[in-house]
Chains A and B, each alone.
Chain A
Amino acid sequence: MDVTADANRGLDLSRFVEIGKSVYSLVILLVLWEVVGQLGLIHYYFLPPLSDILIRFAELTLSGEMLFNAYLTLQRALIGLAIASVLGVIVGVLSARNDIVDWFFDPIIKIGYPVPIISLIPVFMLWFGIGDISKIIMVAVGTFWPVAVNARESTRQVETNLIWSAQMMGTSDRRLLWRVVMPAALPGILTGFQIAMPLSLIITFVFEMVAGGGGLGALEIQGVRSFESAQVYAAIIAIMLIGIGLDRILRFARGRLLHWT
């Protein structure tokens, strides 16, 4: 009996047990889902069997419909988010550093906060129509706030000692912003992005569900209207994958950018 061989086998087994412990409930759910669906215990309309949903998902992917709609949604959400991020960081950081800018933007930031941004969808439909541009602008407006507020707060909270250190070592006010304030405020600014991203998706989905024009939201609601339940679930799976994907990307980026924390 080779002792090392035994030890290795012991190691593999414990890892599987670890993973198993954390996913067993999901596995049970999925199995139940399939069984219940196949046995017709719940009406097909409400809950198609998992296999049908996966088949429908595959169909949509192969026909390109899924990817096309995903592309539309992502395009709207991410472009809007990018615009809001740039503007939000600029406004937020400058508001924290410059009293005049702060005086100007503070009311805007204060007023925008309590408004449930979703309620403005009909307004945007009125002003900009129901196309891509309208959705992008809405996402940009909606995600501006978390980005700006976080940027402003994290800039305000940069430790005074860091700024003083830089000044004593000869940093001019102009260089101070880029050399010290931005890096120090970066963690807070990134948190703003992390909040803004799911919001960008929410705005896009709801807009698509209300106004149409393609996209995963529209795909999903279309499934309801045409009694194609499998399509509804398939769209949700796609949404989930995108959500997880974007979240991972953001976390990875955060880990890299903030490797010093």
Chain B
Amino acid sequence: MRYATSRSIEVLPTPVQGVVNTIIDWIPLGIVVLVWELVSGGIVATDVLPAPATVGAEIVELFVSGEVFSHLFISLFRVGVGLGLSILVGVLLGVGMARSDPVENFFDIFLSMTYPIPKTALVPLAILWLGVGTKTAILIVFLACLLPIVLNAYNAAENVDQNLVWAAQMMGTDERSILYKIVFPATIPEIMTGVRQAVPIAFIALVSAELIASNAGMGYLILTSGQIGNYPTMFANIVIISAVAFVAVRAFEEARGRLLVWT
């Protein structure tokens, strides 16, 4: 027997509700930090799990000393370029395959074969070709993000409402214009969904590449600080890159909302 659950905050005035909601959203993080605080130094030694305060101080230190900036920028650059390229190529490829049979026939086999390979497994190969560094990282991010975007673009282009195309044709639009006046705009929402899925993948690919094949970047920082036993720094960097990944997803969703005002 369940009665309608009451939202007691609704007795509060609306602006205050907004603030209270935000606070409620962040409670999970608060709980995790609390548990972390209790465990560190208590159940587990502080060198194995530094206290939140220690890590927090280290984060501030990293930013103040500027130590983290160069690595952060490099990581963001790699993610940005890799993701950007994968969107460009992915959309062209996906839409091209959906609208043209010969194109589909040519590329289909490659996509089917590469789909089950985790792209990070190609890091050593990338090292072979491009050495250690930014080019490798960009390549891995690019490859990892490519497939989800191609698939989404392909599905989106396949499922364009035929009525839209017919409406355009009846009003005198030629084939080429149909592609960029009708097909592309109609597919943008679904493509954005593909990009949204690709963002976390991009970060995983980035860190993978940086752990194995880099002398710079956040992944490299995490690895090396761990190797020299500087654990607060290691954890601090993990928190930083996680926060960045989180913000990236949020920022993207915000941008998507602004861009797609018509959905």
Which residues on the B side are within 8 Å of A240 (C-beta)?
Answer: 113, 116-117
A224 interface hit (Cβ, 8 Å): yes
- In whole angstroms, what is the CA distance A233 to B222 when docked? 29
List CB contacts (< 8 Å) of A111-147 with chain B. Answer: 111, 114-123, 125-127
1/0 contact trace for B105-118 toward A, CB 8 Å?
11111100101111
Contact A114 B234, CB 8 Å, known A119-B222, A206-B120, A220-B121: no
A25 interface hit (Cβ, 8 Å): yes
Which residues on the B side are within 8 Å of A209 (C-beta)?
Answer: 123-124, 211-212
- The answer on a CB contact under 8 Å between B203 and A239 is no
Count chain B CB atoms within 10 A of each CB in A116, A223, A229 and give the residue with the most. Answer: A116
User: Interface majority SS on B: helix, strand, loop or mixed?
Assistant: helix
- The answer on a CB contact under 8 Å between B109 and A236 is no
Chain B residue nearest to A238 in the complex (CB): B121
- The answer on a CB contact under 8 Å between B109 and A22 is yes
**What are some 11 contacts across the A-B interface (CB < 8 A)?**
A45-B128, A110-B28, A118-B120, A118-B208, A119-B242, A126-B231, A202-B118, A236-B121, A236-B122, A247-B115, A247-B116
- In whole angstroms, what is the CA distance A216 to B120 when docked? 12
Which residues on the B side are within 8 Å of A21 (C-beta)?
Answer: 105
A162 interface hit (Cβ, 8 Å): no
Which residues on the A side are within 8 Å of B127 (C-beta)?
Answer: 224
1/0 contact trace for B220-231 toward A, CB 8 Å?
001101110001
Q: How far is the CB of A245 from chain B (nearest CB, A)?
A: 8
Which residues on the A side are within 8 Å of B249 (C-beta)?
Answer: 114
- In whole angstroms, what is the CA distance A201 to B48 when docked? 27
- The answer on a CB contact under 8 Å between B118 and A201 is yes
B3 interface hit (Cβ, 8 Å): no
Chain A residue nearest to B223 in the complex (CB): A122
Q: How far is the CB of B158 from chain A (nearest CB, A)?
A: 17
- In whole angstroms, what is the CA distance A125 to B122 when docked? 22
State the total of A-B contacts with C-beta under 8 angstroms.
144
- In whole angstroms, what is the CA distance A117 to B43 when docked? 24
B235 interface hit (Cβ, 8 Å): yes
Which 7 residue pairs spanning A and B have beta carbons closest together? A107-B28, A243-B116, A122-B226, A114-B246, A202-B118, A116-B203, A115-B242
- The answer on a CB contact under 8 Å between A107 and B118 is no
- The answer on a CB contact under 8 Å between A223 and B124 is yes
Which residues on the B side are within 8 Å of A111 (C-beta)?
Answer: 28-29, 32
- The answer on a CB contact under 8 Å between A202 and B120 is yes
- The answer on a CB contact under 8 Å between B109 and A23 is yes
Q: How far is the CB of A43 from chain B (nearest CB, A)?
A: 11
Which residues on the A side are within 8 Å of B200 (C-beta)?
Answer: 114, 116
Q: How far is the CB of A209 from chain B (nearest CB, A)?
A: 5
B165 interface hit (Cβ, 8 Å): no
A residues sitting closer than 8 Å to B (CB atoms) are: 21-26, 29, 45-46, 106-108, 110-111, 114-123, 125-127, 198, 201-202, 205-206, 209-210, 216-217, 220-221, 223-224, 229, 232-233, 235-236, 239-240, 243-244, 246-247
Please give the number of chain B residues whose Cβ is less than 8 angstroms from any Cβ of chain A in the complex.
Answer: 51
B residues sitting closer than 8 Å to A (CB atoms) are: 27-29, 31-32, 48, 105-110, 113, 115-118, 120-125, 127-129, 200, 203-204, 206-208, 211-212, 218-219, 222-223, 225-227, 231, 234-235, 238, 241-243, 245-246, 249
Q: How far is the CB of A32 from chain B (nearest CB, A)?
A: 13
Count chain B CB atoms within 10 A of each CB in A224, A229, A233 and give the residue with the most. Answer: A224
Q: How far is the CB of B234 from chain A (nearest CB, A)?
A: 6
Q: How far is the CB of A156 from chain B (nearest CB, A)?
A: 15
- The answer on a CB contact under 8 Å between B223 and A210 is yes
Which residues on the B side are within 8 Å of A220 (C-beta)?
Answer: 121, 124-125
Contact A120 B238, CB 8 Å, known A25-B105, A209-B123: yes
- The answer on a CB contact under 8 Å between B125 and A232 is yes
Q: How far is the CB of B54 from chain A (nearest CB, A)?
A: 15
Chain B residue nearest to A245 in the complex (CB): B116
Which residues on the A side are within 8 Å of B115 (C-beta)?
Answer: 247
Q: How far is the CB of B214 from chain A (nearest CB, A)?
A: 12
- The answer on a CB contact under 8 Å between B124 and A116 is no
